[in-house]
């Protein structure tokens, strides 16, 4: 079986510590697993964590709130409140817990208090937008986030969130526009190039398809093994080839074929997949489709 | 009336449980008998993030190969909204099903009603719709064997089988991951026996 399911309850102290550190660095949202690792392993080694304990407690608190484990969240919050009695960072966690309990008014009041004490802190403002999203007030959230971004113009995370909100409204044009700002600060991110390619592809139309192809090309240059980008560039070349001049068509078919060759070699190595042959046949079907475009 | 197998039902619920903070979407596979509503025998989990057409197109081309092998058809879509309180119909994804309409008449849409999802449900959590005369209308749905189906899902969630589910985005991240969830299907069947 291919899917690697690790028993998180069985890790050693070091493995647990390193796993949580990696997930902190990656901002990974693996809340259920984080709580498991805490409950079954790290909670028994709090003294061995030394100063790392506080970062771990913060991480576990958020994970516990995220997976509705309010028992664990309270225990961790208690420890943090005792250690850092007047910390706004800890107060933010308390407010997040209120959010999860759907006590939005109290959460918002706490954030307003925190903003008043520190106008420059972006985190509290973003939580207020999160409350709007949780309440389903999508258009309000978009409005507030746009206002926020006029002040905190380089907040990549906020631009990504804004783009996501537009995607949920099927407003691909604004989603692409917002994501352009993400690219400004992450021009060499294959993932982000792929993302904007997909948004442009979804938008459709000649200009957007050409943009999509350019972004896909760059994404593949940076990550040649990315299956998702490879499929994307094949699809876009296929579409563009339909209406292209003979010279342009030749170039598009070449690009598409190169991508299909790469996909073929990726799937050749995917021996652990019991349905490997389905994917190989799909690549062949795409080859036929491309040659007929 | 749409009939849903235990395997199909389990995979839909497992997909939703695996990504609790996202919308999830997938395709329904089934068999049709004339004009009657289809029997949904399996599902292919597709996305757990934003709705973007490129990965869906790649998946549909992949499914073309699969369904003819197994004498199945794509009979519709399923979705679970991001927020448990959001009961709205996924219009954007439904448009994908509407486009399938030319090949597969009267597609079905199954919506997960999150308020009915629990570890010990005594009723199934799906709302069904059928696309006829250019509109989606509510239809009834039932599990082939409700007691068996619900028990299987509870057992699957308790043993955290959702960690073994792969959707198409997961497969694209790791081509060794099986979007057809062959091994998971076997495990779900074992829970039913």
CA-to-CA separations, A125 to A95, A129, A198, B56, in angstroms, rounded: 12, 7, 29, 35
Three-state secondary-structure class, residue B78: strand
Min Cα–Cα distance to chain B from A106, Å: 20
Residues A210-243 as b or e (16 or more Cβ within 10 Å = b): ebbbebbbbbbeebeebbbbbbbbbbbbbbbbee
Of the candidate CATH numbers 3.90.730.10, 1.10.8.60, 3.40.140.10, 3.40.440.10, the domain formed by B2-192 belongs to: 3.40.140.10
Q: Label each residue of chain A as H, E or C.
A: CCCCCCCHHHCCHHHHHHHHHHHHHHCCCCHHHHHHHHHHCHHHHHHHHCCHHHHHHHHHHHHHHHCCCHHHHHHHHHHHHHHCCCCHHHHHHHHHHHHHCCCHHHHHHHHHHHHHHCCCCHHHHHHHHHHHHHCCCHHHHHHHHHHHHHHCCCCHHHHHHHHHHHHHCCCHHHHHHHHHHHHHHCCCCHHHHHHHHHHHHHHCCHHHHHHHHHHHHHHHHHCCCCHHHHHHHHHHHHHHHHCCCHHHHHHHHHHHHHHHHHHHHHHHCCCCCCCHHHHHHHHHHHHHHHHCC
Domain membership of residue A242 as a residue range:
208-293
Rounded to whole angstroms, the Cα distance separating A197 from A232 reads 8
Q: Is residue A19 part of a domain?
A: no
Q: Is residue A81 part of a domain?
A: no
Q: Select from A212, A278, A281, A287 the residue whose CB has the most chain B CBs within 10 Å, as the one to mutate to test that interface.
A: A278
Short-list B165, B114, B128, CA closest to B3: B128
Rounded to whole angstroms, the Cα distance separating A263 from A230 reads 7
Q: Is residue A104 part of a domain?
A: no
Which residues face B45 on adjacent strands? B26
Which of the four pLDDT bands, split at 50, 70 and 90, describes residue A22? Answer: very high
Rounded to whole angstroms, the Cα distance separating A167 from A174 reads 8
pLDDT in tens, A82-139: 999 999 999 999 999 999 999 999 999 999 999 999 999 999 999 999 999 999 999 9
Q: Which of B50, B62, B86 sits opposite A167 (nearest CB)?
A: B50
Residue A293 pLDDT: 80
pLDDT in tens, A150-175: 999 999 999 999 999 999 999 999 99
Residue A1 pLDDT: 36
Q: Which of B54, B62, B176 sits opposite A278 (nearest CB)?
A: B62
Residue B120 pLDDT: 77
Q: Is residue A271 part of a domain?
A: yes
Task: Report the number of distinct structural domains present in chain A.
Answer: 1
Residue A4 pLDDT: 61
Which of the four pLDDT bands, split at 50, 70 and 90, describes residue A3? Answer: low
Three-state secondary-structure class, residue B95: helix
Rounded to whole angstroms, the Cα distance separating A253 from A220 reads 16
Min Cα–Cα distance to chain A from B31, Å: 20
CB-based contact B163 A273, cutoff 8 Å: no
**pLDDT reading at A181 higher than 90:** yes
- Higher per-residue pLDDT: B143 or B32: B143
Which of A66-70, A185-189, B119-123 is predicted least confidently?
A: B119-123
pLDDT in tens, B119-156: 777 889 999 999 988 999 999 999 999 999 999 999 99
Name every chain B residue with its beta carbon within 8 A of the beta carbon of A164. Answer: 50
Q: Select from A275, A289, A293 the residue whose CB has the most chain B CBs within 10 Å, as the one to mutate to test that interface.
A: A275
Average pLDDT over all residues of chain B:
93
Q: Which of B50, B65, B179 sits opposite A164 (nearest CB)?
A: B50
Q: Which two tokens stand for residue A144?
A: 């507030």
**pLDDT reading at A148 higher than 50:** yes
Say what percent of chain A tops pLDDT 70.
99
Which of A180-194, A276-290, B33-47 is predicted least confidently?
A: B33-47
Min Cα–Cα distance to chain B from A51, Å: 31
pLDDT in tens, B69-90: 999 999 999 999 999 889 999 9
Q: Which two tokens stand for residue A121?
A: 């802190």
Whether the complex's predicted ipTM surpasses the cut of 0.90: yes
Q: Where are the alpha helices (DSSP H) in chain B?
A: 6-18, 53-69, 91-100, 146-158, 168-173, 182-192
**pLDDT reading at B36 higher than 80:** no
Q: Is residue A82 part of a domain?
A: no
Q: Which of B53, B69, B175 sits opposite A270 (nearest CB)?
A: B175
For chain A, say whether B57 makes contact (Cβ under 8 Å). Answer: yes
Q: Select from B21, B50, B156, B172 the residue whose CB has the most chain A CBs within 10 Å, as the one to mutate to test that interface.
A: B50
Name every chain B residue with its beta carbon within 8 A of the beta carbon of A279. Answer: 62, 175
Residue A2 pLDDT: 44
Give the number of other CB atoms < 10 A from CB of residue A25. 8
Nearest CA in chain B to A165: B50
CB-based contact A198 B52, cutoff 8 Å: yes
Which of the four pLDDT bands, split at 50, 70 and 90, describes residue B52? Answer: very high
**pLDDT reading at B66 higher than 90:** yes
CB-based contact B65 A281, cutoff 8 Å: yes
Count CB pairs under 8 A between chains A and B: 98
For chain B, say whether A164 makes contact (Cβ under 8 Å). Answer: yes
Rounded to whole angstroms, the Cα distance separating A129 from A164 reads 13
Rounded to whole angstroms, the Cα distance separating A270 from A57 reads 39
Average pLDDT over all residues of chain A:
95
CB-based contact A201 B173, cutoff 8 Å: no
CB-based contact B58 A274, cutoff 8 Å: no
Q: Is residue A240 part of a domain?
A: yes
Query: Looking at residues A278-282, what average pLDDT do you find?
Result: 97
Residue B139, phi then psi, degrees to nearest 5: -130, 165
Q: Which long-range contacts (CB under 8 A, 24 or more apart) does A88-96 make?
A: A88/A114, A88/A117, A88/A118, A88/A121, A88/A124, A89/A58, A92/A123, A92/A124, A92/A127, A93/A58, A93/A61, A93/A62, A93/A65, A95/A127, A96/A62, A96/A65, A96/A127
Min Cα–Cα distance to chain A from B124, Å: 23
For chain B, say whether A282 makes contact (Cβ under 8 Å). Answer: yes
């Amino acid at each position: 079986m291919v899917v690697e399911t690790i028993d998180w309850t069985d890790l050693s102290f070091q493995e647990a510590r390193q796993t949580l550190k990696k997930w902190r660095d990656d901002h990974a949202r693996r809340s259920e697993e984080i709580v498991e690792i805490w409950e079954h392993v790290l909670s028994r080694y709090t003294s061995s964590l030394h100063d790392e304990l506080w970062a771990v407690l913060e991480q576990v608190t958020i994970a516990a709130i995220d997976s509705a484990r309010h028992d664990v969240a309270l225990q961790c919050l208690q420890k943090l409140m005792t250690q850092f009695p007047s910390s706004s960072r800890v107060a933010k966690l308390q407010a997040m817990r209120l959010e999860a309990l759907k006590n939005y008014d109290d959460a918002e009041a706490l954030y307003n208090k925190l903003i008043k004490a520190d106008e420059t802190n972006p985190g509290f403002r973003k939580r207020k937008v999160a409350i709007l999203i949780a309440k389903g007030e999508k258009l309000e959230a978009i409005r507030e986030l746009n206002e926020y971004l006029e002040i905190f113009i380089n907040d990549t995370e906020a631009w990504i969130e804004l783009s996501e909100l537009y995607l949920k409204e099927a407003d691909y044009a604004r989603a692409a526009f917002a994501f352009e700002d993400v690219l400004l600060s992450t021009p060499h991110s294959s993932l982000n190039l792929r993302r904007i390619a997909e948004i442009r592809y979804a938008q459709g139309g000649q200009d957007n398809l050409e943009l999509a192809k350019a972004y896909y090309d760059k994404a593949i240059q940076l990550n040649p093994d990315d299956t998702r980008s490879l499929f994307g560039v094949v699809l876009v070349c296929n579409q563009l080839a339909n209406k292209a001049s003979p010279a342009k068509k030749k170039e598009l078919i070449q690009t598409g074929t190169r991508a299909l060759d790469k996909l073929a070699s990726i799937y050749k190595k995917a021996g652990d997949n019991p349905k490997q042959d389905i994917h190989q046949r799909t690549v062949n079907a795409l080859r036929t489709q491309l040659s007929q475009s | 009336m749409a009939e849903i197998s235990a395997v199909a039902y389990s995979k839909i619920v497992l997909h939703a449980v695996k990504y609790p903070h996202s919308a999830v979407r997938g395709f329904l596979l089934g068999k049709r008998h004339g004009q009657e509503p289809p029997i949904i025998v399996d599902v292919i989990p597709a996305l757990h993030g934003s709705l973007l057409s490129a990965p869906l197109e790649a998946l549909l081309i992949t499914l073309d190969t699969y369904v003819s092998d197994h004498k199945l058809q794509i009979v519709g879509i399923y979705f679970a909204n991001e927020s448990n309180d959001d009961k709205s119909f996924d219009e954007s994804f439904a448009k994908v099903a509407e486009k399938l309409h030319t090949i597969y008449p009267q597609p079905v849409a199954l919506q997960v009603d999150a308020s009915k999802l629990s570890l010990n449900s005594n009723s199934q959590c799906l709302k069904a719709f059928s696309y006829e005369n250019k509109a989606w209308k509510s239809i009834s749905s039932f599990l082939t064997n409700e007691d068996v189906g619900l028990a299987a899902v509870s057992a699957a969630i308790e043993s955290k089988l959702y960690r073994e589910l792969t959707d198409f985005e997961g497969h694209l991240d790791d081509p060794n991951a099986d979007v057809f969830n062959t091994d998971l299907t076997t495990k779900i069947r074992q829970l039913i026996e």
